[in-house]
Amino acid sequence: MGAVPSTPRWGGSSSAARPLDTAEYLISTFIGDESFPISSDFWHKLLELPLNLQWPPHRVHEACQALARNNYHTRHLAKILIHMAWCLQESISTSSGAPSLVYVKAVNAVYISSVFLKYFIENAKGDKIEDLYLSLDESEPIPTDITKDLNIEDFVMRSVLSFIGSIDVSPDTYLLHLELLNFMLIAMSTQLLSGPSPGPEDVNPFIDAAMSQESSLVILVVRKLLLSYITGPSISLNSASYSIYSEGSQPGVLQRVSSAAANLMLLPFNFLVSSSGEGSRSLLADCSLHVLLILSHYRKCVVGNEPITDKSNDTTASDSLLKGSTHFSDNPYCKALERATDVEFDRVDTEGNAHAGPVLRIPFASLFDALGMYLADEAAALLLYSLLQGNADFLEYVLVRTDLDTLLMPILEALYNAPKRSSNQIYMLLIILLILSQDSSFNASIHKLIVPSVPWYKERLLHQTSLGSLMVITLIRTVQYNLSKLRDVYLHTTCLATLANMAPHVHRLSAYASQRLVSLFDMLSRKYNKLAEMRDNQMRLVKGNSIEGNGLADDTSTEMHIYTDFLRLVLEILNAILTYALPRNPEVIYAIMHRQEVFQPFRNHPRFNELLENIYTVLDFFNSRMDAHNTDGEWSVEKVLQVIIINCRSWRGEGMKMFTQLRFTYEQESHPEEFFIPYLWQLVLSRCGLSFNPDAINLFPVDPPSEKQSDYEVSSNGHVNGESTKHAVFVEP
C-alpha cells in the first residue's frame, strides 16, 4: 500500500478481465502516500466503482492505519468528504434525488468516509482530533466552485442535512438516507471522547457545524427525522437497487465487522444480508430518532467574553457576561422541537408568544400513535419526555386526548417489568407520569377510562379496571420493587409525588388498588420500625464508646428521616382522598377499616398524629355506623361495602382538618446534559450495533465485557455503569 502512479490506469484488458484488482488498486491508491488533487479523475473512478471486494477485518484495519499515516500529506479524508458533499448536492439538484450513477457515487462516498472517519475519531490522541486534517493543502489547486478558506465540516454537514431535509425516503433513496444517518452518528461520536460535563475545550467539529445551520434548514431536518420515525418507511432490503452492495449473503468491500480489534462496524450491512425486510422499518426509524435526540440534547460550552453568533435566526448578538465565564449556546434543534406545532391546529397567538421565523409543523396525532406503539424502546421514552417537558403545545395535545391509554398502557407495562429495564428507563417513564399528573384534568380523566383486561399483569386478574386504578397499582408495585432491589430514594419520591398529585381526583378506586395503597403504608412502616430497632441497637454501641457504632447510628438516623417523610407522604395521599374524594371511593374506606391496626402504632407520633386524626375521624364515623347497623349472621365484604356506600351519602366531613393540597411538579436540573448526553450515547452504542473503541470513551465508564451482564448493569444503589441516575428535582409549592 505504498506509492502509486499519479494517474491510475483505468480500462484496458487487465482491468476488464480482473475488476477486483481494479477495486483493490483504487482503494490502495486512496490510502497510499501519493496525493491526488481534488479535481483529479481518480476520485470519480473510485466512487463509480461497484465496491464488491470481500476484505477481512484485519485488512480493513490495515487500510485505516495506512490512511492515518498518509493523511497529513495527502489530505484524502478531507477530499473524499468534499466529494461526498458534491455528490449529495448533485443528487438534490436532480428531479428524483437518485439517478443511478450519482446515487452510486454518493452512497460509496458516504460509506468510505464513514469507515475511515470513525477510525480517525476513535483513535484520536486524547480528546484532540486535529489529526483529521480537515483542510486542503495550501499548494493544492482549488477548483473555482470552492474557496481557499472553505470550512469542510460546515460544507459537509450542510450538504448532508440538506439531503436529509429535502429528499423524501423512497426505494431509490432509502440506502443513502440510512448511510447518511450512520455518517452523522459517526461524525457526532466525537462527544464520546470528552467527559460527561461539556467544557469549552471539547472539540466536536461536525456537530458544531450542524448547530450553525440556518433555522429553515434545521426545521426541515427535524421534520424529516420525526416523519421518518413516525412512518418508518418499510423498504425491502433485497431490492435490485442494492445488488452492488451484496453478493449472495456477503457484504461488500470494507465490510462492517464487529471485531474489537478493527472496530469498523457501521450500521446497515448487518441488516442488508437479512433474508427479509422486517427490520428495515425499525432500522431507519431508530437511526432517525437517535440522530434527532443527539442533535437536540447537544450543549456547546462557550466562554462568555466572546460574542455569540447564532445563525439559527440569522442574527448576531453579544451576551453581557462576565469575562471568562462559560455558558451554553442556543441549540436550534432543541428550539425547533420545543416550538413545534400541530399541522392540524393553526392556533392564533393571543398571548404575544409568537416566534419569529419559520416554525416546525408536524402531525401530533401520528406522533402520538407512534410513541404509543414504541414506548417500550428507551429512545422513544426520551423523545416523549423531551416533548412533554419542553413543548407546551404537545403537552396540551396529549392531555386533551381521550385515549390516554395509548401512551399509559405501554408505560405501565414497562414499569411492571422493571427488573428487565434499565434504571434510567424506569426514571424517564416515572418522570413522564409525574409531568402528566401535574394536570388535574388528566388525573380526573384516567379514572373514567376503563381497561377491559390487563394480560401482562400476572399476580391478579384485573378485569374492567380504570386506568387510574391500574396506574396506582403499578406505581405502588414500583415502590415495592425499588424497596427490595434498587433502594433509591429519588425513585420512591417520584412515585409518591405522582400518587400525591392524583389523590384529590381519585374516583372509584378499585378494591385491589385501595388495598395496595394501605399495604404501601404497612410496608413502609415495617421498614421504618426495622430502622428504629437498628438505631436503638447502634445507640447502645455508641454508649459503649464505639466509633463504628456512632457512624452507623448516624446513617440509620438519616435513613429513618427519609422513611419518616415517605410515611407522612402516604398519609397525605390517604388524607387527600378522604378529604376531597371520600364519597366517590368506598373501597378506600373499606381498605382502611380492614387494616386499621397498621395505623395504631403511629397515632401519637409527632410527625404523623395530625394526619392520623383525620383517618381516625373517618374510622370512628364508619365504625359507629357499622355498630348501629343490625345484621343477621356474619359480616360479608358485600354487606360492609353496602353500609359504607349508604353512609357515604350522609358524610359531611365534620371534624376533618383541612390540609394544604399537595402538588408536586417536575423541574429539570440546571445541567441535564450531564445525564442525557451519556445516556443517549449508551443507547446508540447498544441499540444501533455501532461498535466503538472502549478505551477511547471518556463520556461514561465502560465495564469490561467479561463482567458486563447487560447494556445497563444496575447496581444495588441505583447507579448505571457507575453514573448516578439522579437528575430530577421535585418542588412542592
Residues near 680 by beta carbon (within 8 Å), at least 6 away in sequence:
290, 293, 294, 297, 379, 382
What's the DSSP call for residue 714? Answer: B
Residue 593 resides in a domain: yes
Residue 179 resides in a domain: no
- Count of alpha carbons within 13 angstroms of residue 651, beta-carbon side: 27
**Position with higher pLDDT, 143 vs 482:** 482
CA distance 328 to 534: 47
CA distance 272 to 283: 11
Q: Are the CB atoms for 203 and 128 separated by under 8 Å?
A: yes
Average pLDDT over residues 666-670: 87
Q: Give, in order, the Cα–Cα distances in Å from 525 to each of 337, 595, 597, 612, 649.
A: 44, 13, 12, 14, 32
State yes or no: pLDDT of 261 exceeds 50: no
Helix (H) or strand (E) holding 337: helix 332-338
pLDDT, tens digit (0-9, with 9 covering 90-100), for 614-652: 999 999 999 999 888 766 667 888 989 999 999 999 999
Average pLDDT over residues 297-316: 62
Residues 558, 485 share a domain: no
Q: Which residue, 187, 3, 177, is CA-closest to 113?
A: 187
pLDDT at 394: 97
Residues 588, 651 share a domain: yes
The residue range of the domain holding 646 is 528-544+551-660
Q: Which residue, 451, 439, 434, 445, is CA-closest to 384?
A: 434
Contacts 24+ apart (CB under 8 A), 555-561: 556/531, 559/531, 560/528, 560/531, 560/532, 560/535
pLDDT, tens digit (0-9, with 9 covering 90-100), for 63-99: 999 999 999 899 999 999 999 999 999 999 886 555 5
Give φ, ψ of 670 to 5 degrees: -70, -20
Confidence of residue 405 (pLDDT cuts 50, 70, 90): very high
pLDDT at 535: 83
Residue 653 resides in a domain: yes
Residues 483, 538 share a domain: no
pLDDT at 313: 47
Kindly state the percentage of the chain with pLDDT values over 90: 54
CA Rg, the chain, in Å?
A: 31
CA distance 528 to 520: 12
This prediction has a pTM of: 0.85
User: b/e for 373-395, b at 16 or more Cβ within 10 A?
Assistant: ebbebbbbbbbbbbbbbbbebbb
pLDDT, tens digit (0-9, with 9 covering 90-100), for 447-460: 999 999 999 999 99
Kindly state the percentage of the chain with pLDDT values over 70: 77
Q: Are the CB atoms for 245 and 272 separated by under 8 Å?
A: yes
Residues near 371 by beta carbon (within 8 Å), at least 6 away in sequence:
380, 383, 384, 407
pLDDT at 544: 62
pLDDT at 321: 41
- Count of alpha carbons within 13 angstroms of residue 237, beta-carbon side: 24
Residues 560, 637 share a domain: yes
**Position with higher pLDDT, 106 vs 98:** 106
The three grid cell numbers given for residue 535, joined into one nine-digit string: 438505631
Q: Are the CB atoms for 672 and 386 separated by under 8 Å?
A: no
CA distance 135 to 211: 20
State yes or no: pLDDT of 667 exceeds 70: yes
Residues near 646 by beta carbon (within 8 Å), at least 6 away in sequence:
none
The three grid cell numbers given for residue 287, joined into one nine-digit string: 437511526
Residue 149 resides in a domain: no
Q: Which residue, 190, 124, 194, 123, is CA-closest to 157?
A: 190
Confidence of residue 690 (pLDDT cuts 50, 70, 90): confident
Q: Are the CB atoms for 615 and 623 separated by under 8 Å?
A: no
Average pLDDT over residues 22-45: 90
pLDDT at 100: 73
Q: Are the CB atoms for 250 and 135 separated by under 8 Å?
A: no
State yes or no: pLDDT of 16 exceeds 50: no
Confidence of residue 467 (pLDDT cuts 50, 70, 90): very high
The residue type at 252: G
Residue 722 resides in a domain: no
* 3-state SS, residue 548: helix
The three grid cell numbers given for residue 207, joined into one nine-digit string: 456537530
pLDDT at 536: 81
Show which of 640, 660, 680 is a domain's final residue: 660
Average pLDDT over residues 464-492: 91
CA distance 240 to 238: 6
For the chain, the domain total comes to 2
State yes or no: pLDDT of 551 exceeds 80: no
Q: Are the CB atoms for 664 and 360 separated by under 8 Å?
A: no
Q: Are the CB atoms for 269 and 255 separated by under 8 Å?
A: yes
State yes or no: pLDDT of 265 exceeds 60: no
Q: Which residue, 268, 253, 262, 245, is CA-closest to 57?
A: 262
pLDDT at 126: 58
Confidence of residue 320 (pLDDT cuts 50, 70, 90): very low
Give φ, ψ of 315 to 5 degrees: -130, 160
Residues 540, 499 share a domain: no
Q: Are the CB atoms for 427 and 712 separated by under 8 Å?
A: no
pLDDT at 127: 53
- The residues that bridge with 729 in the sheet, in sequence order, are 667
pLDDT, tens digit (0-9, with 9 covering 90-100), for 330-349: 999 999 999 999 998 765 55
pLDDT at 589: 97
Q: Which of 91-105, 124-138, 421-435 has the highest mean pLDDT?
A: 421-435
pLDDT at 346: 63
Residue 417 resides in a domain: yes
The residue type at 630: N
Average pLDDT over residues 417-433: 94
pLDDT at 130: 67
Residues 532, 448 share a domain: no
Give φ, ψ of 303 to 5 degrees: -85, 135
Query: Cα dihedral sign for 702, 703, 704, 705?
Result: negative
Residues near 365 by beta carbon (within 8 Å), at least 6 away in sequence:
342, 344
pLDDT at 433: 98
Average pLDDT over residues 484-507: 91
The three grid cell numbers given for residue 730, joined into one nine-digit string: 421535585
Residue 241 resides in a domain: no
CA distance 130 to 463: 63
Q: Which residue, 705, 691, 700, is CA-closest to 721?
A: 700
CA distance 456 to 63: 51
Confidence of residue 329 (pLDDT cuts 50, 70, 90): confident
Q: DSSP secondary structure string, 275-317? A: SSSTTHHHHHHHHHHHHHHHHHH---EEETTS-EEEGGGTEEE
Show which of 620, 643, 660 is a domain's final residue: 660
Q: Are the CB atoms for 680 and 291 separated by under 8 Å?
A: no
The three grid cell numbers given for residue 41, joined into one nine-digit string: 479523475
Q: Which residue, 464, 469, 399, is CA-closest to 437?
A: 399
Residues 607, 498 share a domain: no
The three grid cell numbers given for residue 552, joined into one nine-digit string: 452507623
Q: Are the CB atoms for 341 and 360 separated by under 8 Å?
A: yes
State yes or no: pLDDT of 202 exceeds 80: yes
> Mean pLDDT score of the chain, rounded to an integer?
81
Confidence of residue 355 (pLDDT cuts 50, 70, 90): low
Q: Are the CB atoms for 182 and 114 separated by under 8 Å?
A: yes
State yes or no: pLDDT of 553 exceeds 50: yes
State yes or no: pLDDT of 223 exceeds 50: yes
Average pLDDT over residues 229-255: 48
State yes or no: pLDDT of 724 exceeds 60: no
Q: DSSP secondary structure string, 196-222? A: SS--TT---HHHHHHHTS-HHHHHHHH
Residue 603 resides in a domain: yes
pLDDT at 199: 85
Average pLDDT over residues 565-589: 95
Confidence of residue 247 (pLDDT cuts 50, 70, 90): very low
Residues 564, 458 share a domain: no
Residues 492, 444 share a domain: yes
pLDDT, tens digit (0-9, with 9 covering 90-100), for 692-714: 889 889 999 987 654 333 332 22
Query: Cα dihedral sign for 191, 193, 197, 202?
Result: negative
Residues 495, 447 share a domain: yes
Residues 655, 533 share a domain: yes
Which of 272-276, 430-434, 548-552 has the least mean pLDDT?
A: 272-276
State yes or no: pLDDT of 272 exceeds 60: no
pLDDT at 375: 92
State yes or no: pLDDT of 101 exceeds 80: yes
The three grid cell numbers given for residue 29, joined into one nine-digit string: 491508491
pLDDT at 11: 40
Average pLDDT over residues 583-595: 96
CA distance 104 to 175: 10
Which of 55-59, 298-302, 631-635, 715-719 has the least mean pLDDT?
A: 715-719
Residues 639, 539 share a domain: yes
Confidence of residue 566 (pLDDT cuts 50, 70, 90): very high
